[in-house]
Amino acid sequence: MTEKFISIQQAIEQGKSLVSLHGWIYRERGSNKLKFVILRDSTNIIQCVFDRTLFEKQWEDIDKFQIECALTLNGELKKDERAPTGYEVQVKKFTLVGKSESFPIAKDQSVEFLADNRHLWLRSRKMTAILKIRSTVFGAIDEFFKSEGFYEYHSPIFQAVQCEGGSELFSVNYFDKKDVFLSQSWQLYAEPAIFALEKIYTIAPSFRAERSKTSRHLTEYWHAEMEVAWATFDDIMNYGEKLIKHVVKRVLETNAPELKLLERDTTKLEPIIKKPFIRMTYTEALKILKEKCKMDVEWGKDLRTIEEEKLTQLYDVPVICTRYPKKVKAFYMMEDPTNPDVVLGCDFLAPEGHGEIIGGSQREHSLEEIKKRLKLQGEDPLEYEFYLDTRRYGSVPHGGFGMGVERLIKWICGLDNIKDAIPFPRTMERYKP
């Protein structure tokens, strides 16, 4: 009969019994009589004790155990207050499944060293916790849109247009063609599809040739985007607020142990579910920055990281900042019918200084206005013919947004740097391993 393995977490939950476990050595210490191994699997860690009197023949192997050796073992589980997770296994039988060379990662290593060894650092308890939360976040985004009647829809990644500004485009050598780029956003290929599906979403990689070395920029990130036909500007903001509430709720329900391991203060997340988000215009934001933060921003300038940081520190829920100056926003955002200097665009700014996590807007539906703004940005409208057709054949009010999934994870987990929100971060300087 094949042995029935259970997870470490299941073992701890069922308490006193005979158990079969498999995992990797997280820590080890011992004498020439006893070996204490902390075994790790995807669910938890547990202390396992090897007594020499039971393993005289295998003692040489046991004595040579290294961190990250893979083991299967069978033994008696009992409560032990001194053990790290309150239980200990008295090992009766074991197999060394995979030996380990001396593991390069030890305590107090530099950020660069850990980045070079990212493939191994993923096994750390910190990264494991973040990756579990990341999995919940992706699932919750999907669940939210499906429950609201959205279809999942995909845009190409090779694109011949820019959506968010030409300076941040990655060119691709596409059979020596000059005008092929990696997608910055699915949006320009999503708008044509709302005429078929009306409510659509995606979660896909986006690429930005960001030259900024900040704690919130990646060159490759996962982008959750949505687009809705017949929607008003308020509808778009309401979807964004509801989405974030749903994701935070799911993480709090599912990932309490991981948040604890990350030392995340969850009382900072609870208001997100309970309280309405703060909504203010860009012009109001400047006034608040001046009065409460002593920061003078000239009207017409985009908010910088530092200003977003100060503004969001005033509230315990995200700030939805609206009606930015037209000249700092993308060509497709609709002009405010009551003020031609601003657009019906919104940025969701996360609390505690995390800043922009969502960018969205009502879409401009005047063909002439879009052409004019494309030209102002130095673009040739002829390249956008497929997109402009959306405004020629039965155009309707519509809008959408994009949420940076790693930005959201950074905030939910309370991380200092976005790089830890993704398994293999890509930045200006790093594309390996």
Name the site residues for ligand 4AD (rule: CB under 6 A).
Answer: 163-164, 184-185, 187, 208, 210, 217-218, 221, 223, 225, 356-360, 400-404, 406-407
Look up residue 384 and give its DSSP letter. G
Return the residue nearest Mg ion (CB atom). 359
Residue with Cβ nearer ligand 4AD (88 or 227): 227
Residue 187 site contact among ligand 4AD, Mg ion, none (CB < 5 to 8 Å, cut-off depends on kind): ligand 4AD
| Cα 129 versus chain centre, distance | 13
Q: Among ligand 4AD, Mg ion, none, what does residue 163 contact (CB within 5–8 Å per kind)?
A: ligand 4AD
- Listed in sequence order, the residues at least 6 apart from 272 whose beta carbon sits closer than 8 Å to its beta carbon are 244, 245, 248, 317, 318
Selection from ligand 4AD, Mg ion, none that 41 binds (CB < 5 to 8 A by kind) is: none
Query: How many distinct helices (H) and strands (E) make up the chain?
Result: 15, 17
Instruction: Number of residues interacting with Mg ion: please give it, by CB under 5 A.
Output: 1
Q: Which of Mg ion, ligand 4AD, none lies near 402, with the C-beta cut-off 5 to 8 A by kind?
A: ligand 4AD
Give whichever of 351 and 400 is closer to ligand 4AD, judged by the CB atom.
400
Nearer to ligand 4AD, 73 or 334 (CB): 334
CA atoms within 13 A on the CB side of 2: 3
User: 373 is in the binding site of which of Mg ion, ligand 4AD, none (Cβ under 5 to 8 A by kind)?
Assistant: none
Q: What is the DSSP letter of 276?
A: P
Q: Which does 202 bind (CB under 5 to 8 A by kind): Mg ion, ligand 4AD, none?
A: none
| Least distance between Mg ion and beta carbon 405 (Å) | 14
Amino acid at site 218: L
CB of 372 to ligand 4AD, least distance (A): 19
**C-beta of 428: minimal distance to ligand 4AD in Å?**
10
The closest of 327, 341, 339 to 377, measured between CA atoms, is 327
* Cβ-based nearer residue to ligand 4AD, 12 or 190: 190
Distance of closest approach, residue 124 Cβ to Mg ion, in angstroms: 32
Binding at 420: pick from ligand 4AD, Mg ion, none (beta carbon under 5-8 Å per type): none
Looking at beta carbons only, is 67 or 333 nearer to ligand 4AD? 333
With respect to ligand 4AD, which residue has the nearer C-beta, 44 or 184? 184
Question: What residue spans of 46-100 are helical by DSSP H?
Answer: 59-63
Helix axes 405-413, 233-254, angle to 10 degrees: 50
Q: Which is nearer to ligand 4AD, 45 or 130 (CB)?
A: 130
In the list ligand 4AD, Mg ion, none, the entry touching 245 (Cβ below 5 to 8 angstroms by class) is none
* 194 close to 228: Cβ distance less than 8 angstroms: yes
Q: How far apart are CA 286 and CA 307, in angstroms?
A: 9
- Residue 234 one-letter amino acid: D
Nearest distance, CB of residue 404 and ligand 4AD, angstroms: 3
Inter-residue contact 364 to 335 (CB < 8 Å): yes
Rounded to a whole number of angstroms, the minimum distance from the CB of residue 166 to ligand 4AD is 13
Under rule CB under 5 A, which residues in 345-404 are in contact with Mg ion? 359
Measure the CA–CA gap between 139 and 143, rounded to whole angstroms.
6
Instruction: Write down the least CB distance from residue 385 to ligand 4AD, Å.
Output: 19
Q: Where are the alpha helices (DSSP H) in 198-336?
A: 233-254, 256-261, 270-274, 282-293, 305-312
Least spacing, CB of residue 146 vs ligand 4AD, in Å: 18
Question: Which amino acid, one-letter code, is at 354?
Answer: H
Q: What is the DSSP letter of 124?
A: S
The helix/strand/coil state of 361 is strand
Q: How many CB atoms lie within 10 A of CB 65?
A: 20
Q: Tell me the closest approach of the beta carbon of residue 347 to Mg ion, in angstroms.
A: 6
Of 404 and 425, nearer to Mg ion (C-beta) is 404
Q: Are 291 and 251 in contact (CB under 8 A)?
A: no
> By C-beta, is 47 or 322 nearer to ligand 4AD?
322
Burial class (CB in 10 A: 0-12, 13-18, 19+), 69: buried
Nearest to 218 by CA among 351, 417, 403: 417
Contact residues toward Mg ion (CB under 5 A) are: 359
